[in-house]
Chains A and B, each alone.
Chain A
Amino acid sequence: MSDYIIEAIKNGVFETLKMTGWSSLFAYAVGLPLGILLYATAKDRLLQNRAVNYAIGFVVNVMRSLPFLILLVLLIPFTRWVTGSSIGTTAAIVPLTVGAIPIVARMVEASLCEVQPGIIEAATSMGASPFHIITHFILPEAAPSLLQGAAINVATVLGYSAMAGVIGGGGLGAIALQYGYYRYQKDVLWTTVLLLVIMVMLIQAIGGLLAKLRRKS
């Protein structure tokens, strides 16, 4: 491999991390509250509200059923409106975030559902408000599971970020596509794949470790 390709790969690793990091952060900023709402408004839960639950659930399901590649294309006007451009690493953060939000929301919802109903009953009997019950009881109890879910979500975003290469996003995906696929440079293709695998494994390991440290039972 020539020097400029090695330089490009180095740059690609950085760009991939940048896209994954920001997208995950933004996706959690929206997806976490959304997941909490999905959980809390479901039947027999503390903020039971059929209309809200159905509306959020519907949007989340529709977004989740769109293949990410299609979403990427569909979102081009929106991306341009937000970032001023539809190509490049920064632009890719927009569709990645939008694509990850429903996944995060469902994952958060699933984690919260694992919390024992008895905990909520105890909190209610103490006179806690729904907000208190969520922040002081449900979220701390679900923390290990939320962390485990986060590792999966971040790894998923990393995988998606490789796809952003197709529409001009940067990162390792773009390099794999340009050098590995279009120019038949198998060594570049395999190097990028290997790097992506290592990054996913690292994320999974860190997430797993954090969850394990948090879990007291």
Chain B
Amino acid sequence: MSNADTVYELQNVSKTYRNEGKEFTALRDVSFSIREGEIFGIIGMSGAGKSTLVRTLNRLTEVSSGTVRYFGRDLAELRPRELRKVRRSIAMIFQGFNLLQQRTVIKNVEQPLRIAGVSRKERKEIARKMLEVVGLSEKEKEYPARLSGGQRQRVAIARALAASPKVLLCDEATSALDPKITGEILELLQKINREQKLTIVIITHEMSVVERICDRVAIIDDGNLAEVGEVKEVFRAPKSKAAKKLVFPSNPFDPSRENSRLIRIVFDGLSAKEPFIADLVASTGRKVNILSANTKSVGGVGYGQMVLELPDNEIDRTVIIEYFKNKGLAVSEVER
């Protein structure tokens, strides 16, 4: 079943919590796999079960049924000692950083090496190298309380990398950070992914995080796997309702008329330089109302989406939709 380059293989993973006679199902029949070297996003609204899901990947949470295979080995079958050894190859960073407050930055970074029984001298050497990777060499003697949120997460990343893991799990690692710092942390993760061929799993509720650095994404909705695929593909043509909800802009202008039809157009690099809205008006004489536009240029090519309100006349609408389709744009109806 598992290919050589498959890190994780999840089959029908379910998790039910029982508390004081009440049952709560956090995960239902989730199956997907994660490939070596990729940045894999797991996205969902809060309470969707994604935190539970990521904890099944290092068995911080036991699954109720189904299997989680890590390099072909069923995690549930590992004995405590084996499990601890396996966990050393699966690093994790958290939303709340979880650094030791009473220990210096360098001592924090040394922790996983201490657990692995590395000598004091070697520990320090490796920890220094890791702090260099995350750009915090001059802070090694500080205590975490004196660092900013972004710096603390960098320390946590240095700590995670210290024992040269095969996988890095990120549980809402940027959710407590502002957009600028989030960008910096994501850039760092991307750099590490490229340079060290480290497989990274990112849990988030923000589509922007996934769009920015993930190769593939799984969308979790109310404990179910709604969709899984290449980020580009999911972004261009989301199939499930949950994916649409995440992909569509959350705060468009209100449409000018009740019951008017809305469409979403997605452009992915092909048509960035073309003033296609102006061209639409010039060549067809039909107008649209832009409710939301979210575009960005990546390496000179444009990516993004727009939500447009169409005229009420059906012929006008058909003409407009055909026009966009001919231009090579993905067009989809937006439910109101």
Contacts and interface: CB of A to CB of B under 8 A. Distances in A.
Instruction: Say whether A associates with B.
Output: yes
Interface of A: 116, 118-119, 121-129, 132, 136-137, 140-141, 143-144, 214-217
Nearest to B104: A216
B217 interface: no
Contacts of A129: 84
Contacts of B60: 121, 124-125
Given A125-B58, A125-B90, A118 B98 contact: yes
Interface residues of B, number: 29
Interface of B: 58, 60, 83-88, 90-92, 94, 96, 98-103, 111-112, 114-116, 143-145, 163, 169
Contacts of B163: 126
Given A126-B115, A132-B115, A141-B100, 12 more contacts: A118-B94, A124-B60, A124-B87, A125-B169, A126-B91, A127-B115, A136-B111, A136-B114, A140-B103, A141-B101, A216-B101, A216-B102
B114 A127 contact: no
Q: What 7 A-B pairs come out closest when comparing CB atoms?
A: A217-B145, A127-B87, A122-B98, A127-B88, A216-B143, A118-B98, A217-B101
Q: Does more than half of chain A's interface fall in helix, strand or loop, or is it mixed?
A: helix
Given A136-B115, A141-B100, A126 B87 contact: yes
30 contacts: A118-B94, A118-B98, A121-B94, A121-B98, A122-B98, A124-B60, A125-B60, A125-B90, A126-B87, A126-B88, A126-B91, A126-B115, A126-B163, A127-B87, A127-B88, A127-B112, A127-B116, A128-B84, A128-B115, A132-B115, A136-B114, A137-B100, A137-B111, A141-B100, A143-B102, A215-B102, A216-B102, A216-B144, A217-B102, A217-B143
Contacts of B111: 123, 126, 136-137
A123 B91 CA distance: 10
